[in-house]
């Protein structure tokens, strides 16, 4: 059962910026310093920023009050004999607000759309907001991942646009077309983000009522100065 009442749906009156740190940085001091610098740099800006560090850094970053903290994945189970898994309930208990699901790097490891759908329902059941990544086969992916779910945040992030795979960002026109297509499957107030090679130079071009209401940022979120600049530009939208 999806406990929709427990979910704090992002009202999207402000742009939503999600930082996907992936398996970085290599030690906890660097993670703490990066989060502290970002926190200081974005204080007072009209924007919602969620840092998604590796699981092991989450507890030490949670006191960073001006930032929300999310995870990069979760199980579809809440507890039990599932070696190596982390449950949505555990993330919620720590104080996480969001969880990225179905990232293309996880899908390459064998995660299916059905699994992403189950994970999103399990996250919503405990009041975590799922940020579900959608890539190339938009209609097929939307049909499966959004089945029986209302409160999603979606991120259009084709794998070929991701910077570390040598990608290049999609055009704002493509983003607009994809957003229109996605809206055929979801309630009209569902936030749609764009992800893939976003930086401070191009972030502005993706944001708008008919484009994206926020961005998912990988590589650029690991450089505090660049990320702060990106957030400042997004906040001016």
d(CA 120, CA 111): 13
Nearer to ligand PEP, 150 or 232 (CB): 232
Nearer to ligand PEP, 126 or 179 (CB): 179
d(CA 134, CA 141): 7
Residue 83 CB, nearest approach to ligand PEP (Å): 26
Question: According to CB under 6 A, which one of 218, 227, 228, 233 is a site residue for ligand PEP?
Answer: 218
Residue 159 CB, nearest approach to ligand PEP (Å): 8
* Subset of 181-200 contacting ligand PEP (CB under 6 A): 195-198
Q: With binding defined as CB under 6 A, does residue 163 bind ligand PEP?
A: yes
Which range binds ligand PEP by CB under 6 A, 33-41, 62-70, 124-132, 157-165? 157-165
Q: Which residues contact 145 (CB under 8 A, 6 or more apart)?
A: 102, 113, 116, 117, 120, 132, 134, 152
Which range binds ligand PEP by CB under 6 A, 88-96, 121-129, 158-166, 171-179? 158-166
Q: Kindly name the residue from 98, 103, 105, 141 that is annotated as catalytic.
A: 103
Nearer to ligand PEP, 57 or 156 (CB): 156
Give the residue closest to ligand PEP by C-beta: 218
Residue 197 CB, nearest approach to ligand PEP (Å): 4
Nearer to ligand PEP, 93 or 164 (CB): 164
Q: With binding defined as CB under 6 A, does residue 58 bind ligand PEP?
A: no
118 burial type by CB count under 10 A (0-12 exposed, 13-18 middle, 19+ buried):
middle
Query: Is 103 a residue of the active site?
Result: yes
Instruction: Give contact residues for ligand PEP (rule: CB under 6 A).
Output: 20, 103, 157, 162-164, 195-198, 216-220
């Amino acid at each position: 059962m999806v406990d929709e009442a427990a979910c704090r749906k992002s009202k999207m009156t402000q742009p939503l910026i999600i930082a996907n740190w992936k398996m970085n940085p290599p030690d906890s001091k660097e993670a703490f310093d990066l989060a502290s610098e970002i926190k200081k740099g974005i204080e007072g800006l009209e924007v919602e920023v969620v840092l998604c560090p590796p699981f092991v850094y989450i507890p030490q970053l949670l006191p960073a009050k001006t930032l929300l903290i999310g995870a990069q994945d979760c199980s579809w189970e809440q507890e039990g004999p599932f070696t190596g898994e982390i449950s949505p309930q555990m993330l919620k208990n720590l104080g996480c607000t969001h969880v990225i699901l179905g990232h293309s790097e996880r899908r390459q490891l064998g995660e299916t759309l059905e699994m992403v759908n189950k994970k999103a329902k399990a996250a919503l059941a405990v009041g975590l907001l799922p940020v579900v990544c959608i890539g190339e086969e938009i209609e097929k992916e939307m049909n499966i991942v959004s089945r029986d779910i209302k409160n999603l945040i979606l991120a259009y992030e084709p794998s070929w646009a991701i910077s570390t795979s040598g990608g290049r960002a999609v055009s704002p026109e493509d983003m607009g077309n994809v957003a229109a297509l996605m809206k055929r499957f979801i309630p009209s107030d569902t936030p749609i983000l764009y992800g893939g090679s976003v930086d401070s130079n191009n972030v502005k071009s993706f944001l708008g009522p008919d484009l994206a209401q926020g961005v998912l940022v990988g590589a650029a979120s690991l450089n505090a100065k660049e990320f702060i600049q990106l957030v400042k530009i997004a906040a001016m939208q």
